[in-house]
Amino acid sequence: MRHSKIQIMDPEELLNENSNSEKKTESPLLSLERDLKIYNESIHEVAIEIMVEGLSSYPIFIAYQHIVKLGELILDRDDLNMEWSINASTLEEFVEKGVIKKELQERFTKSYKNPHDFMCLFVIVPEGANFVYFPYKKGS
């Protein structure tokens, strides 16, 4: 049995599983997974840079297909002929902008996976947004 590498906290918000529409359009996570395999090394380098420079111990990457005003653009889907753009951000910015409530910050940090092994993504789709952890390739 093949298991997806993407680990999701609350999958129902991202997958939009309608039996009628499932056949017409693939889950956005499938195209995201394809793009992340290509973006993997670049995202890992930025995560390390964020931590080494002392900006944050909790890098967060925003994956989106439309316009987002959160974080700093690092991978532009139009420039790279891909389906997803990626912005770099931090837990601190998410709290500052109210995406993560201050009182939930500790809960987030306890569930945050090792940033050397996993990228933390905030995936934004028309149906909503959620956090997803995706493993870095070994050796990157």
In this prediction, residue 126 has a pLDDT band, given cuts at 50, 70 and 90, of confident
In this prediction, residue 139 has a pLDDT band, given cuts at 50, 70 and 90, of low
Task: Break the chain into its structural domains and give their ranges.
Answer: 7-11+27-135
The whole-number pLDDT of residue 113 equals 96
Q: At residue 64, does pLDDT exceed 60? A: yes
Average pLDDT estimate for 35-56: 97
Contacts of residue 113, defined as CB under 8 A and 6 or more positions apart, other chains included, come to 7, 120, 133
Average pLDDT estimate for 99-116: 95
Average pLDDT estimate for 10-35: 61
Count of CB atoms situated within 10 Å of the CB of 137: 10
Tell me, yes or no, if the pTM score tops 0.85.
no
Q: At residue 38, does pLDDT exceed 70? A: yes
DSSP-H helix ranges across 53-103? 77-80, 91-96
Give which of 131, 118, 134 is closest to 30, Cα–Cα: 134
**How far is the CA of 126 from the CAs of 48, 84, 96, 139, in angstroms?**
30, 13, 23, 34
Rounded distance between C-alpha atoms, residue 60 and residue 89, angstroms: 5
